[in-house]
Structure 1
């Protein structure tokens, strides 16, 4: 139940990012649901590999390069999907920052709704 709710709220937050920032477009709720799923899969599979491969750059930039990795995950999902578009890398960076902030709020709310036993 928690996973399904997180997926739905992530899709809603992706639509909110598209509403808030004109560099990100989502055409429908179904496109937002698929985009949230693909972003989640990219973050689960590709992101750890990229973090390990770019560890020296991440250390030199004091962790700021992780924002670039997040932007590439966001942009990559937009390149793979129809109905979810990002106009460029700058839009991907801003969109991923807003999406990540909303994701932290969602995680915090879900933690209070579904406490660990």
Structure 2
């Protein structure tokens, strides 16, 4: 059940970010009803990147995190979103993040807020 909630949350967060943030797009026409396997795959990629790559990058950047009072974590989240976009491009999924400033930064913020909101609603 926890895996299913994690998967749906990541997919929902990516969908909301693509809907709200200009510069984050799915190149396939149609909505979530038609392209849900693609959106689900991008949610899985984001989850895997956040689970495997992000902890390593966070540990290696502890001095920057301390120096910026934690704001560098936002930059790390944006970089993970860009990595997700690059991986989705390699798998020809049609998920595109245009640039770091503002698309990735705003997208990371939206994804963080959606994940937080779902976590507060769904208690373990």
Please indicate the TM-score interval, normalised by the length of the shorter structure. Answer: 0.7 to 0.9
Distance 2:56 2:50 in 1: 10
In the other structure, the counterpart of 1:72 is: 79
Number of residue pairs matched by the alignment: 112
Deviation of 1:22 after TM superposition, in Å, equals 1.9
User: CA-to-partner distance for each residue in 1:15-65, whole Å, 9 max, x for gaps?
Assistant: 121111121112432221111111111111111111111111111111111
> Which of 68, 93, 104 is residue 105 of structure 2 equivalent to?
93
Instruction: Return the match for 2:121 from 104, 109, 113.
Output: 109
Q: TM-score, normalization: structure 2? A: 0.83
Question: How far apart are the structure 1 equivalents of 2:62 and 2:70?
Answer: 9
User: How far is the alpha carbon of 1:106 from its aligned partner?
Assistant: 1.0
The residue aligned with 1:13 is 13
Q: CA RMSD in A?
A: 1.3
Q: TM-score normalised to the size of structure 1?
A: 0.87
Secondary structure at the residue paired with 2:25?
A: strand
Structure 1 runs (4+) deviating above 3 angstroms are none
Is the contact between residue 17 and residue 24 of structure 2 (CA under 8 Å) also seen in structure 1? yes
Residue segments in structure 1 that go unaligned for 5+ positions in a row: none
Unaligned runs of 5+ in 2: 29-34
Q: Retained in 1: the 8 A contact 2:16–2:110?
A: no
